Chains A and B, each alone.
Chain A
Amino acid sequence: MTRRRFLEGTGAALAAATAAPALAKQSSGARALRVTTPSTTIQLTVNGTARRLAVEDRWTLAEVLRDHLRLTGTKIGCDRGECGACTVLLDGKPVYSCSQLAVWADGRSVQTIESLAKEGELNPLQRSFVEHDAPQCGFCTSGQLMSATALLNATPNPTAEQARAAMTGNICRCSNYNHYVAATVAAGQPRSARNAPTPTKISSAGSAVAALNVVGNATARIDAAERVSGKATYTADVLLPNMLYARVLRSPHPHARIRRIDTSKALALPGVKAVVTHDNCTVVWGAGSISGGAQYNDEMKKITKHRRYAFNNPVRFVGEPVAAVAATDRHVAEEALLLVAVDYEPLPFVLDPEEAVKPGAVQIWPEGNLSPNVRNETQPIGTRRGNVEDGFKSADHVFEDRYSTSFVHNAQMEPRASVAAWDGDKLTVYTPTGGIANCRTDMARDLGIAPDNVRIVCHYMGGNFGNKNQNQDADLIAAVLAREAGAPVKLELSRKEDFIGVHGRWPTAQYYKVGVARDGTLQAIQLRGFSGMGPYRKNSGNIAGVEIYQCPNIETSISPVYTNRTVSGNFRGPEYPQGFFGIQSMMDDVAAKLKMDPVEFILKNMTRQANDQTPYTTYSLDECIRRGAEAFEWKKRWRAVPGSDPGPIKRGAGVSFMAFRAGLGRSSAVVRVDAKGKYWVHVGVTDVGSGAKTTMGLIAAEALGVPLSQLEVVWGDTDRCPYSVGESGSRTTIMTGYAVVEAARDLRKQIAEKGLPKGDAVLIASATPSPTLQGKVRSTFGAHFVEVEVDAELGRARVTKYLAVHDCGRIINPLTAMSQIKGGAQMGIGMALHEDLLYDRRSGTPLTPGYYGARISTHRDAPEIDVLFIESDDGLGPFGAKSMGEASKVPAPAAVANAVANAIGHRMKDLPITRDKIVAALAAKGGRA
């Protein structure tokens, strides 16, 4: 019995229940429905307008809204009802539109983000979101707004707790939870009672910070209106004429040789326009494997031994791309994937870095599992100072221990996508990149075309966290499919594919040996570390931390090791949170064993000069720690005897500190002015959510001596913007911002000499400075203070107080700066207490590839985070600004872990510190639990 016979000829009941499937052209101009796909005509009221639509029974409400009604303000973050980005109101109630079929909404009313603003005017809730800097990358914002709208409809004056409860089903990976809650509560208050948030700022004792005109004032993002109204266009919102949809087929095996791929059935499926595999696509993905070298170094990519292609054989991790198809709609593309027949020969595999370096381990590459470095030498990363053996001999106490951290995914709200279109020889790619310039260079090199023939466009992107400052294999696959098919191609990854096919933080095992004098002064530190890189070394694999201590004798040896797991890559302080957790837990433990207050231990041993010998441009680490301890009431919250609170509910406090690169470097900017005195600032940024657009605008306005309203920032398009170092490594403000200053100064000089231009003429200035530090080291400093409460019987750990203190130089925009610091700290809490990508060991298959399984933090997991800025101005960079984007992620897990240890009197040495581990540890101790 064929499906058609069934639909046409079966019981009357069924025919009556559904409309007969029919070909129907929709008024929106979408493709005609295929006759064999069951479809129904529905009546749906959308934002007050009655619509009559013919929909396939399998279309979700989200799909109808976005693809067929072109209401792209509603976003798809996971398509599985696990994240909330797709929240709309159905008959006034928030629902996940990705998890509701359109046919079920027949006769009902839907309200989307597009309904909130009236005639271009933001409503009070949207304005409150802007004022409180709720949207960072903006991808979760539509969903948060719809949940908040429903809340305010039912409860006009909600409390913070009510707001959190109502918005629990909306995840924000930028982790800006505090500001979403504050914005929602404020929207329910009378105008007079609302207070826009401002962080506490005090000047560093060693550095006078003179006030400026524009820079330093809390300023709403210049594109906040787009982010709160659904008008921001992200890559998946791009729709080009004749565009095809593409999907990728991925390896189910952790290690396998592909004997044969048969794509004939897939190619024969009506609607399929191209299929690519390693048989017909030999494009190298240079940035995918660079032996830990600089990603922007083309020479490095040419000599890398372990090359990573768009399609590899053998495949070396579950999720590795095997084939890709482009078809007329995404359902056809999905069906075509199922028709690609792959004959695999499974191979043995290894999952853990420490297992992978043992003799006899499965070899992932012929040269072995220890990744070679940029010179193709197979040796660990290491540093040395003094002689650790002498140090241990002279120490009064020697301690040894092991710490480990898990694979944590960037999990940015926007799933990876790429839209590629050829126009003759010229390629345009819309992609959620953090570096349009680097992406263009990479695409040109990998495809063998001139960089001038590549245009990269990214105006809005939903989160970056460090791993997108280059091209991605999705960009290459989309470009190749587009060339094959002769039509633009939109390649989309599911959330699961994003989790396992893209990159996350490398997991580590860290062995420390520490020698101290009896008064707590460090004598020697030795670190032997292992980083799990996946089967390609996409980034360094290093483990930082030793360098923030002052110690005469140090020795580190860190092995970046290949494993058959999802590839590891840069994620917000790529080598720092893991290492800082390890070494600062170790040192916190040493302090406890010496019965020293950890704050005293840090003050005694923290770095005062870089590598114990080079001065910092300005130094405020001691201030960060002292002022922070005072503001946090450290002495009241820290337990001198860990775990000493009576009863099962125990509190404790932990501290961590950081010093993090804020060096100068090369970037570009172009500034121009017209006869009317309007300015444009061209910068190669995409604004990943950090507020970079606004920061560049503020810097330009200050340097030009004009108000922000008199200038426009031009961004996100390589055809219009000059080179930028790209948004990773916390460098955009420092490097691109400095180029803006130089270009602005040049333009100001031109105006002083020639006056403003006349008529249609413009004056232009460009700058590509490459400043150096002349023998000093430039660093951001900080300290985090955390109080936790642990239920020793039920294993629940929650943060009850959090203070982040940072010297990021001069704060350009206190409003967006606060969001960055809070977001990084919250991500650190998640890394400490929840997040992991768990693997089934026998099959090498990831078991938790999604927001639900990986336990990404929700509103209820986010405590209030207080921020204290200690401002300094070393006369370098743009107005003395230093790095910030990664600064608060870096020390956070260490502070949380130290607080847990103080509360329960037991050191948890393996992240994440989940409930089951706490209960098991305390039960084993025989203490409580």
Chain B
Amino acid sequence: MKSFTNANPRDLAHAVTLIRQGRENNRSVALAGGGSDLVGMMKERLVTPDVLVNLKSIKGLDQVTLEMGGVTIGGLITLDALASHRLVRRQYPVLAEAAESVATPQIRNVATLAGNVCQRPWCWYFRNGFKCLKNGGTTCYSVTGENEFHAIFGGGPSYIVHPSDTAPALIALDATFRIAGPAGERMVPAAQFFALPTVDASRENVLKDGEVLAAITLPPAPAGARSTYHKILDREAWTHAVVSAAIVLEMDKDVCGRARIVLGGVAPIPWRLPEVEKMLAGQRITPELAARAGEAAVAGARPLAKNGYKVPLTRNMITRTLVAIADRGLRNAD
């Protein structure tokens, strides 16, 4: 690894100051949450910061606190703590399931929610140091290369898929992100936090340089909400989602009220399906409706040469998951 200085901020304001000072002195600065992905990238010299701001040294940024019926979750909470938190498991199971599905216990014990949301892509061109749109280059190698795991929606000019499991769950829960920066704090709805490559192909979200994702707020869990995170992997464990779905259905007996469906592994940002959500609103979830929902979900897909399988896979996954959620209600009360 290239040599760097580790800096332990006292609090969020101090962290923002450290970043600003570093940049003012022409030092490159990186933020470390859990650090496991960052350390790996630094060993590969994909990122070579002069200063590493260790956010874990800030106390109190990892709590789950009740606020007006909803919750605020500190960005530095570990995925393990989040997945095992009783309130989160009970009221926002899609988020607990998503957090639990990430990587391995060793990684979940240190990885933070904010870090997972802001995770860099796992595209093998990016990770093997190709000079692509994500690291100062002007091209996306996957387009005419190996694109088995790349985007079928929203791609171009970069075709990465967003690697986070928690991000689709947070969007499905209508989360709001609290961002701290040099100009103060701002709130951004989760759905607007992630940015398509047409906005800025070198980034995956709207965080500006010098900003920190500090906390995430969830509105109260609606009554009768049934939710799940279905993740399809390429081994039985550890890998990022081939495709995944965060689904939240507000059910009144077996009739679906409001629906939220957000996909992972298919697009450069977590991919919401508003047309499918409209199809389900006010309906009983029958196998036929679930099948039509699956078809509708992939209607606009634009696969690349080697990822066409993601279209039937996504369609089948959505159908299967909707039927499973509907069945759940028939079998037991929430």
Contact = CB atoms under 8 A, between A and B. Distances in A.
A87 B36 CA distance: 13
B237 A847 contact: no
Contact of A100 (B36, B128, B236): B36
A95 interface: yes
B334 to A, nearest CB: 25
Interface in B129-160: 130, 141, 144-146, 148
Contacts of A840: 125, 130, 141, 145-146
Contacts of A58: 1-4
B214 interface: no
Interface stretch (A8-16, A359-367, A505-513, A817-825): A8-16
B39 A60 contact: yes
B192 to A, nearest CB: 31
- Of B7, B238, B317, most buried by chain A (CB within 10 Å of CB) is B238
Given A99-B39, A916-B148, 12 more contacts: A58-B3, A90-B109, A99-B40, A104-B56, A150-B105, A168-B237, A794-B313, A798-B236, A842-B141, A855-B235, A915-B234, A919-B309
Contact of B145 (A794, A842, A846): A842
Given A93-B80, A842-B144, A848 B39 contact: no
A872 B238 CA distance: 42
A95 B54 CA distance: 17
Interface residues of A, number: 75
Contacts of A631: none
Contact of B238 (A37, A40, A56, A168): A168
A861 B236 contact: yes
23 contacts: A11-B17, A14-B51, A17-B9, A38-B3, A38-B6, A57-B3, A81-B39, A84-B104, A94-B106, A98-B39, A101-B6, A166-B105, A793-B312, A793-B316, A794-B316, A794-B320, A795-B309, A840-B145, A852-B238, A860-B236, A860-B237, A915-B313, A923-B311
Interface string B94-110: 00000000011111011
A99 B236 contact: no
- Of A36, A859, A916, A929, most buried by chain B (CB within 10 Å of CB) is A916
B146 A859 contact: no
A147 B108 CA distance: 13
A334 B104 CA distance: 29
B63 interface: no
B295 interface: no
A145 to B, nearest CB: 14
A769 interface: no
- Of B37, B80, B105, most buried by chain A (CB within 10 Å of CB) is B105
B286 interface: no
A56 B235 contact: no
Interface in A84-124: 84, 87, 90, 93-96, 98-101, 103-104
A13 B110 contact: no
A712 to B, nearest CB: 38
A14 B18 contact: yes
Interface of B: 1-9, 14, 17-18, 21, 25-27, 32, 35-37, 39-40, 43, 50-52, 54, 56, 80, 103-107, 109-110, 124-125, 128, 130, 141, 144-146, 148, 232, 234-239, 242, 306-313, 316-317, 319-320
A471 B3 CA distance: 35
B239 A104 contact: no
Given A18-B8, A38-B5, A847-B146, A95 B106 contact: yes
B237 to A, nearest CB: 4
A23 B16 CA distance: 30
Contact of A1 (B26, B52, B141): B26
A17 B106 contact: no
Contacts of B8: 17-18
A599 B128 CA distance: 46
Given A103-B54, A847-B128, A169 B3 contact: no
B26 A18 contact: no
Given A57-B5, A860-B237, A847 B309 contact: no
Contacts of A855: 234-235, 239
B124 A794 contact: no
A853 B124 contact: yes
B107 A96 contact: yes
A914 interface: yes
Contacts of A929: 312-313, 316
A103 B54 CA distance: 10
B27 A6 contact: yes
Contacts of B317: 794
B236 to A, nearest CB: 4
Given A855-B239, A914-B234, A919 B145 contact: no
Interface of A: 1, 3, 6-7, 10-11, 13-14, 17-18, 36-38, 40, 56-58, 60, 79-81, 84, 87, 90, 93-96, 98-101, 103-104, 147, 150, 165-166, 168-169, 331, 334, 648, 793-796, 798, 834, 838, 840-843, 845-848, 852-853, 855, 857-861, 914-917, 919-920, 922-923, 929
Contacts of B25: 1, 6, 10
Contacts of B2: 58
Nearest to A798: B236
A300 to B, nearest CB: 37
Contacts of B320: 793-794
A188 to B, nearest CB: 17
Contacts of B36: 81, 96, 99-100
A169 B14 CA distance: 35
Given A3-B50, A855-B234, A859-B237, A95 B110 contact: yes
A7 B7 CA distance: 11
A861 B5 contact: no
A860 B235 contact: yes
A90 to B, nearest CB: 8
Nearest to A87: B106
A13 B17 contact: yes
A99 B292 CA distance: 45
A922 B7 CA distance: 53
A914 B125 CA distance: 21
A60 B37 CA distance: 13
Contacts of B17: 11, 13
B106 A81 contact: yes
B107 to A, nearest CB: 7
Q: Which 7 A-B pairs have the closest CB atoms?
A: A169-B104, A860-B236, A793-B316, A99-B36, A847-B124, A38-B5, A860-B237
Nearest to B104: A169
B124 A915 contact: no
Contacts of B234: 834, 855, 914-915
Nearest to B78: A93
Contacts of A13: 14, 17-18, 21
Nearest to A57: B6
Contacts of B103: 169
A272 to B, nearest CB: 16
Contact of A101 (B14, B35, B239): B35
Contact of A834 (B35, B106, B235, B316): B235
B309 to A, nearest CB: 4
A796 B317 CA distance: 12
- Of B1, B6, B237, most buried by chain A (CB within 10 Å of CB) is B6
A796 B236 CA distance: 9
Contacts of A795: 309, 313
Contacts of B80: 93
Contacts of A93: 80, 109
B39 to A, nearest CB: 5
Contacts of B312: 793, 919, 922-923, 929
A99 to B, nearest CB: 4
A507 B9 CA distance: 52
B3 A56 contact: yes
Nearest to A38: B5
Contacts of A37: 3
Nearest to A796: B232
A847 B313 CA distance: 24
A334 B44 CA distance: 11
